[in-house]
Structure formats: C-alpha cells, structure tokens
Amino acid sequence: MSKSSASSTPVVSQYHHFVPQFLLKQYAHPYGSRTSKKDRRRQGRTPVDKSTKRLYPRDLVLNRVDFRLDDPVVTETLVKSVLGEQDMYRDSNMSESRQQEIEGEFSKIESRAATVFRKITKAFEQRETGLSLTRQDRNLLRKFLFLLKYRGPTFRERFNHESIDDYSADDRHLLIKYMREKKFKRPIDVWLHNLRVLIDLKMDIDRKWMDDLPNRMYPEDAKWVILHCEFSYLAICTPSRPDDDEFILTDNCYHVYEGRSNEVFHPSSGNMESLSWIAFHEFAPISPKVMIVLRSFLLPSAVDDANPAIKDTKQHMWSALVGNVFGRDTTSILSNLPIEKAENSYSQIVDGALRLLPGEAGSASAKHTFLFKFFSIDTEHVNKINGIMFQNASTCTSLVFGTQKSFKETLEWYLAADPQELGKRVTTSPTDPKRSCLEKLAKVLKHLGSTCQPRWEVINRPTSSEKETTKAAVQALTGTVREMPESILRGKETKTMRIYRGIGGSTMSLVDDMKQASRMINLRIKLDVWSAGHDEHLRQDVRKNLWEMYLQLPRRRVWFYLKLWRAFELAASMDSPNPTMMYTEQGAKDPLDVIAKASNIIAPHRMNHLMQTAVMNDLRIKRPPGFRPWSKFSMDDDGRRYALELRGFAFALPAIAA
C-alpha cells in the first residue's frame, strides 16, 4: 500500500476509560453470579444499557446506578463499557497513525501501576497488617493517583474547547498568556500536552522534577501536581466491618476532596459558587474494601508535631491558609480518621519523635522502603467518605458499588444525616445541580426498597449582598500569593519572596504579615459597612484616619495590604469571577513591585505614601472606562471631576525626596 493511501485510512474510533479497567474489575463480578433470588427478580425488572443487552454468564459486570437518567436505576453493566468516553484522549493535531498515541501510553503506565495496586489488594486479601513499597513504587503510586484525577471528566471538561474564547475557568488570563507563548491554538491541546508530560514524568530522588515540571507543562497545573504529590501523605483504609461496609466509586471519585470552601451566590447561574477552597483529604478507591486516603500535611500528626520546628511551621501555615480564610474554628469532618504516615526504613520513632537510623544522612535513597499499614476505620468514617462521593455526584454518569445491601445502607445514612454535616444545602433554583443530585439519590433509595425520609436544607435564592460577596472575596485573597508559602515549605527563593525580603521581610515575618494584611482589609470593609447611610464627608474622614494609622505600620506589611486591596479592586471593576486570578495576572506589572525594588533610593518615611499613590493612580487608569490623563475633557461637571482626578494624579506628594 502506498503512503498516500495509508495516510488516508480513517482513524479507528476507540472507547477510552478514564477509570482503568484493572480498578473497575475490583468491583466486578461474573454476570449471573448473584445468590439472592430477590436481587435476581429486581435485576430482571431493571432497564439495562444497550451495550449490556447481550450478557453471558462469564462476562464481568458492575453493579451500577445509571445516573444519566432523570429516574436513575440500578443495573448490571459490562466493565468495558462504563466510566469512559469515545476518543477521549484522541489528538486530532497528530498524524492519523499517532492520534490514539496517548491512550497507548496510558496502557503502558496502567500496566506498571496495576502491579503496585495488586500488591495492595493481595496483601489485604491475605489478611496482612500492611505492606512494604519501594520509593520507586511509592512515587509511581503518587504520580498515577494524580493522573487518575487529571485524566478524568472534570479536567477534560475544563479544557475541552476549540477556542480560548470558550474557556471560563478562573485561570483564563493565565492560560491565554501560556497558549500565546507556547503557540497552542486550543485549550484541549494544552490538556493533551500536559497528559503526555505527566505520563513521561520521572520523579527523581533529588526532586529536581519539581523545578523542571513548570517549564514542561502549563505552570498552574504543574503546581497542582507538586501539591498533590508532596504536601499530603498516603494512608490505606479498610472497613472494620468488611462484611457490611464498602466504599463506592464514581466518575469523579479521584478528584473530589473533603475540606472547606467559601461560597457566594452567583446571579448569572443562580447557584452557589466557590471563591476559595482548601482540601484536607482526597480519595482513591481501589476496591470496595480498600481506599487510599491522601491527608494534608496541615492536619495534626503525632510524629510530625513531636518536632517543635515542624509543628510551629504547620501552625503558622494553618493560621495563614485556613484560620484567616475560613475561620479559627475550622475543622475537618475526618479529623479523627485514625491514620498516620507510613513508616520507613531510614528512621525510627524515639520518645514519640522521628530520628534517623545510624548511618543515614537524611538524604533520599532508592534503597529506602515504606511500610504502609492497613488502617481499620469504623462504619461512620466509611459513610462519611461515601457521603463526600454522593455530595459531588451531580456531574456523574455512574455510581458503582460492590453489594446492594451495603450500598443501600450507606446511601440511607447520607440522605438521613444532618444537612449541616456534609453541606446538603440547595437553593430553590430549578437549575441547581446539587438539588437535582439529591432528588435523584432519593429516587434510587426508594427503588432499593427503603422507607428512609431524605433530609436536606433548602434556602431561598439569596441576593448576594455587597457585604457577603466582599467578605468572601477578601477571604479568598488571603491565599493569593501562592508562591510565598512555597518559600517556607521548600526553602525556594521565589521572585515575590525576594522583593518581600528587600523591604525588610523574612520567612519568620511572612505568615504574620499575611495575617495582619487580611485583618487590615477586613477592618477597612467593616468601616464602610458600618458607616453606610451616613454623610459621605464623614465616611471619607474615617477612611482617611484609618489610612493615616496604616501609614505608621512597617512598609512590608503595607506592601502586602496594598497588593491584596489592589487585586480586589481590579477584580471588582473588571467583573472578574475570581479576585485571586486578577492578582496573579497583574503580578508582573504591579507598581508596588517596581517601588519595592527601588526602596534603597526612597526616603523611608515616604515609602508607604508612594506605594499608596502608585496603587491609586494604577487603579484610576485601569478601572473601566479608565482614567486617561492624556485625553481631552469637556467643560461640564464630568470634566470638572476629571480635572480634579488629573490634579491628584499629577501633583501627588513626591516620595523620593528626603
């Protein structure tokens, strides 16, 4: 056959699983193997997918709720025809012979990962107390768990656009910049490229991959990879009642998290939407009886907290990233989940603290191994983990489970639980996806023969007041400087951290300055709220007096405060859905950084004045319709106001003179 005829051969369409079949098979059973006559009768009355009409006794099938239907039903479905999409990873930019290449690469890494997963399930089946993994196996497990998250429908939906104009995620401005620099034409091309990079990623012992990865793929998602792999630890959980309790599996189970978020009502969608969030636990079900849990390093750990330096760092980070954003009383609903870090071959616990073994220098080695125990967890914890899956099932097509009895019991627990415990709050909006999800789950439970009365809280469609929206936005801003906590955690000197140090900051002062800047913003907003309705001249005097007080503070703290305030003002004026994105986008052009770099030639007592003036002028220029000092103005009232603005812009007090 000639090259021309070969190249014109149509690409064969393929069904791509985003949950690998080797994991689905852990939930599977041979068709017709049910022992309960009642179950058989129920199955006989249950509709099945077209792809499952021809079933044979040896076919591997899954117990599955078809969640695509308005009235979901329980059915048996072939393993090979569920939790996937047609040509999901097909790259149409490649030559026809290479368009299915990513799926082929997935097959290779799945084969390697399956070996590690099989070690885990085999040890559990043999009633071992745990198992030992090499550093290489552990790193492969880490990487593969992120791939399970990143290759799934949630991330694909985010990137699945032919034009950047259709991309609506919070990082839109950053992605536009990245696509222009790297000459990507479509957002989907970025995702496919990232998948290739992640499949090929070699996690070296010296962790150089963390510095290299942001240069090889979309940097914002590279940071996500690093956080996922380095700032949580793995634990393996099993039910304490293995004959009664089981873990479920859903489309997005490898992407959901347990944590906290700040939500506000979004008028355009009619739904509650998150402005900021933090994950305490993430999950990876590998069988109905085995669940991998990733716990954030921020949560207490008996071994880590025995080291005063580590404990102090964690407390500072918790205060900055959790306490100041979501409140001091913030807790995890799984805080008492009885898990700990894996033991290792290079250290031992002495008097509750971790100590290196003789001959160990503290550097990583390929010879090191890790002992992962099987942590037995009670029914309440199993139900809470399953409840988190149910809570996030609104976009799912399938709920997969082992046995109908355990599935019915855990669903009953979730629907009957206190609505506040897992956030079962819905609006009166007919388009609210959470409401639709809960209604579907209630129908499923009724089909299973339960008389349980579902409970959830219905709230009226809120009119998001300026106060509530502002508060949530400001809380979200506390976590905007993503790279600065990295300076503490990894000892890496970032660009922003260098600027911060140049005006008197340090790693010791960073967390406190973040905290105080957040409080300064909250006080500024509270004064505006409290004085609403009073004489505007009085309100201006109050703002002026507050600013005069702020001017007496250290310049590094004022720099931090103005950064956050500028980000919020830009986000509000440009109708950005996420203030944190606005800060990141404008960071390189931030006038505050320009001034900070020139601090050695600026009179110290004028530094704060100059930073304030620079920010106010920057906001005048950038706020729509925009202040343009070089444009013409009319001789009416608008022109008079414009002239006053121009005077303030041109004749603000100089700050460089001593």
Give pLDDT tens digits for 295-312.
999 999 888 888 888 888
Counting every residue, how long is the chain?
A: 658
pLDDT at 654: 40
Give pLDDT tens digits for 350-360.
887 788 898 88
pLDDT at 523: 76
pTM over 0.75: no
How confident is residue 649, by pLDDT bands cut at 50, 70 and 90? very low
For the chain, the 3-state helix, strand and coil shares in percent, each to the nearest 5, are 50, 15, 35
Residue 509 reports pLDDT greater than 80: no
Tell me which of 452-461, 464-473, 576-585, 600-609 is least confident: 576-585
Q: How far apart are CA 263 and CA 564, in angstroms?
A: 19
Q: How far apart are CA 197 and CA 183, in angstroms?
A: 17
Q: How far apart are CA 457 and CA 476, in angstroms?
A: 25
- The rounded percent of the chain whose pLDDT value lies above 90 is 45
Tell me which of 93-97, 116-120, 202-206 is least confident: 93-97
Residue 522 reports pLDDT greater than 80: no
Q: Are 178 and 190 in contact (CB under 8 A)?
A: yes
Are β-strands 84-86 and 353-356 bridged in parallel, bridged antiparallel, or unpaired?
A: unpaired
Quote the DSSP letter at residue 634: -
Which tokens sit at 536? 């505007």
Indicate the residue type of 489: L
Give the residue-averaged pLDDT of 94-106.
89
Residue 273 reports pLDDT greater than 70: no
pLDDT at 536: 74
Q: Are 241 and 261 in contact (CB under 8 A)?
A: no
Q: Apex CA 512: angle with CA 561 and CA 609, to 5°?
A: 30
Residue 35 reports pLDDT greater than 50: no
pLDDT at 494: 67
Give the residue-averaged pLDDT of 256-272.
69
Residue 616 reports pLDDT greater than 90: no
Q: Are 414 and 383 in contact (CB under 8 A)?
A: yes
Residue among 8, 199, 32, 178 nearest 101 (CA): 199
Residue among 158, 324, 366, 365 nearest 255 (CA): 158
- Higher-pLDDT residue of 348 and 410 is 410
**Contacts of the segment 428-437: beta carbons below 8 A, 24+ positions apart:** 428/458, 428/459, 428/460, 428/461, 429/270, 429/271, 429/461, 431/269, 431/270, 431/271, 432/270, 432/271, 433/271, 433/394, 433/395, 434/271, 434/391, 434/394, 436/394, 437/390, 437/393, 437/394
Tell me which of 61-70, 484-493, 601-610 is least confident: 484-493
Q: How far apart are CA 88 and CA 152, in angstroms?
A: 9
**Is residue 578 classed as helix, strand or coil in its secondary structure?**
coil
Mean pLDDT of all residues belonging to the chain: 81
**Is residue 487 classed as helix, strand or coil in its secondary structure?**
helix
Q: How many Cβ atoms from other residues are within 10 Å of residue 229's Cβ?
A: 21
> Could you give the C-alpha distances from 335 to 319, 332, 340, 364, in angstroms and in order?
17, 5, 12, 30
Q: How far apart are CA 143 and CA 220, in angstroms?
A: 17
CA 620 and chain centroid, separation: 34
Tell me the sheet residues that pair with 64.
Answer: 75, 400
Q: Tokens 């690093």 — which residue?
A: 226
* 240-244, 260-264, 358-362, 407-411: range with highest mean pLDDT: 407-411
Which tokens sit at 616? 């106010």
Residue 30, preceding peptide bond in cis (omega within 30° of 0): no
